[in-house]
Amino acid sequence: MRPGIFLATGLIVGMALPPVAAQGTPPASTNAPPVAPGTDFTHLELDELLAIRIPVVYGAAKHEQKSTDAPASVSVVTREDIQDYGYRTMGDLLNGVRGFYTIFDRGYYFLGGRGVNRLGDFGGRTLTLVDGHRLNDPIYENTSLGYDFPLDLDLIERVEVIRGAGSALYGNNAFFDVINIVTRAPADFSGRGVEAATSYGSFDTYTGRFTYGQTSTNGLETLVSGSYVTSTGNPILNYPAAPALGFPGATQRGGDDQTARNILLSVAYNGFSLQGLYGLRTAGLANGPYGAVFNDPRNTSADERSYLEARYHREFAPDWKVEVRAYADHYAYDGSYAYPTPAGVVQNREAPRANWTGGELQLGGPLGENHRLTFGVEGRWDLQQSLLNYDVVPYHLYLQENHTPVTFGAYVQEEYHFAPPLTLDAGLRYDYFSSFGATVNPRLGLLYHPWTDTTFKALFGQAYRTPNADEFHYHDLANDANPGLHPETVRSYELVAEQGFARHYRITGTLFYEDVEDLITQTINPADGNSIFENVSRVSVRGAEAELEGRWAFGLRARASYAYALAVDDQTGQRLANSPRHLAKLQLTAPLYPPKVNLGLEVLGATAVQSAAGDRVPGRVVVNLTLNARDLIHNLDVSLGIANLLNQQFYDPVAPGFAQDLIPLDGRTFRLKATYRF
């Protein structure tokens, strides 16, 4: 960790120096008020331009507001960040956010935050939204972070990372945080509205995207985009020995390939909008998960996600709005695994399916000068929640289940301004689930703005995560179902301080405490010795985060963050597995030939963690570098990204179901990308 600490110290000292004469790109965040569309900037001084832009978020309160007014600790990753740091997946993007980290088992990424990223489950404690539409499926509730994420990152305008319990607004899965992904508007595609991109990278990784976006004179907005990814994957992966599991170590050759196809459709006119998203990803799993044969190319997986949502939005009276939406979603998983038996290798299929539909009505606006009210109702009907597992030849059916649960929710949120510097934010939500009953979850926030550039927040929230279909109903020869499971709950307490100074800098500090009860854990059923999910664990997390960011002339900007988290199992008194106590991150964008050419640098550091088998996984410092040339030739952008620049060998811990304890990650990789606007 020493190189990362030295770099962090140097950057923080550099950011404290007097700013360069202000000119160049406006900042992504200041404490100045937001700017109305069509504002004339020609009369402003260049120093004023650097103080105009401020992060605006929607997901914290279901209406747009400055991040300093949001009842949460919020980070915003912009389209500029995605370009400058060459992010290839959502996992890359979130690894750059304060306090977050991921692990990769060569098939899927798993997201952790504030010291919690449990090995052996599929997550579901982060709610992921695309333009407010829920992506978490009811089978596993997992958060898609790799090429299984169904949206091309080039189509993202910003990613809002909203920390803390969010069930008071969103219900299920808004447990530790909410990630709201806002897509680009059709008007962003200038000229003829056509944009094409392609890239080539390590392991014969090819990507392509074609996008058409246009706003017609009558107000019709249209966006259509298709993209693909294909990769042969890492040809040779060396796995270390895992004596505790009886794994002698081995080399995987091939079977690390992936392909993905994504489609986005968006049409809007006069308050009506229709959005559809489709994604299909297939991947090789030759590393032998869940007892499958190691190095067997027949181990594969496929994830298919899609939704279609119709929405109507209308504003009436002074600043009041009504929004109605209806949607239909689909998720399918196809897993094929080669299992050893006394009679030879048998091919096993896992094929769950989910189809669901629902809707929401939301109404919000001011009540007098000091009140703002938001309330809504929503319902969902799972038309299909099916689980299926069988051997192909000879055919043997192990599991066939189908359930059709119904949910209903109602929420209300009140913002009351006692005086200009003091705001109370209170929210409450009631949810009913046909599978287990009702739950009520509150949220309370007190925001204090003693000075223009200063914000203090005292926040409390309660949230829940329901058992998913896999935890409720999965059973076979070695696993028992448990329909008696009930939701996990968390009570979150947080103090946040945000300070802007010298017009070019912002510092954020956070203290937090998370109290998690009834954590769903896979245990052994004493009645038959099978695995079973039960509400048995209680976890407490204490920690702090700090972040310093600044922006100077010609587009020079930097961000340094540090996060400390102590996540403890209250029953054993031991730290959780896969829980780094310290995370340190540096991000720097340096102009080489402003405004056309810049260099993006990321240094991501994490301390050691413990694997599922109790082995120590060493800490790491990862350096990523991206060279960007914008408008190199008329309307042509080119970038070269190098991940793991120092070519270090790192390993991630994985779930207990793997024969090996640690999974090797890729060494140095590159990507050359070109984007052309017609």
pLDDT of 274 higher than 70? yes
**Tokens at 219, concatenated:** 């107000």
Give the DSSP per-residue string, 361-426.
Answer: EEEEEEETTTEEEEEEEEEEEEEEEEEEEEETTTTEEEEEEEE--EEEEEEEEEEEEEETTEEEEE
Hunting for tokens 């070019």 — which residue is that?
504
Strand 531-551 relative to strand 479-480, pairing: parallel
Task: State how far Cα 501 lies from the chain centre.
Answer: 30
pLDDT digit string, tens, across residues 59-80: 999 999 999 999 999 999 999 9
pTM given for the model: 0.91
Q: Which structural domains are found in the chain, ordered by start? A: 2-677 (2.40.170.20)
- Assign 48 to helix, strand or coil: helix
Q: What is the pLDDT of residue 481?
A: 94
DSSP labels, 634-649: TTEEEEEEEESTT---
Decide: 301 and 283 in contact? Cβ < 8 Å: yes
Find out whether 28 and 57 touch, Cβ atoms under 8 Å. Answer: no
**Cα maximum dimension of the chain:** 82
CA distance 90 to 82: 10
231: Cα separation from own chain's centroid: 23
* DSSP bridge partners of 361: 324, 377
Beta carbons of 153 and 260 less than 8 angstroms apart:
no
Q: Is the peptide bond before 394 cis (omega within 30 degrees of 0)?
A: yes
Residue 229: is its pLDDT beyond 90?
yes
363: burial class by Cβ within 10 Å (0-12, 13-18, 19+)?
middle
Question: Residue 593, Cα to own-chain centre: how many angstroms?
Answer: 33
The model's pLDDT over 448-490, given as tens digits with 9 standing for 90+, comes to 999 989 999 999 999 999 999 999 999 998 899 999 999 999 9
Q: Which residue in this structure is represented by tokens 């200009």?
A: 420
Residue 219 Cα distances to 212, 266, 312, 413, angstroms:
16, 14, 15, 32
Instruction: Return the structure tokens found at 82.
Output: 């995605």
> How confident is the model at residue 53, as a pLDDT?
66
pLDDT digits (tens, 9 = 90+) for 239-261: 998 888 888 899 999 999 999 99
Over residues 142-153, the mean pLDDT reads 94
Question: Can you tell me the distance from the alpha carbon of 286 to that of 258, in angstroms, rounded to the nearest whole number?
Answer: 12
Cis peptide before 595 (omega within 30 of 0): yes
Q: Identify the CA nearest to 407 among candidates 175, 172, 177.
A: 172
Q: What is the mean pLDDT of residues 259-280?
A: 97
Indicate the pLDDT class of residue 191, thresholds 50, 70 and 90. confident
Other C-beta atoms lying within 10 Å of the C-beta of residue 406: 14
**Sign of the torsion angle spanned by Cα atoms 4, 6, 10, 12:** positive
**Residue 421 dihedral angles phi and psi, to the nearest 5°:** -90, -5
Please, what is the average pLDDT of the chain? 90
Q: What angle do CA 613, 617, 620 make, to 5 degrees?
A: 160
Cβ neighbour number for residue 439 with a 10 Å cutoff: 21
CA distance 544 to 363: 36
Residue 219 has pLDDT above 80, yes or no: yes
Burial of 441 (0-12, 13-18, 19+ CB in 10 A): buried
| Element of type H or E holding 165 | none
Parallel, antiparallel or unpaired: strands 651-653 and 620-633 = unpaired
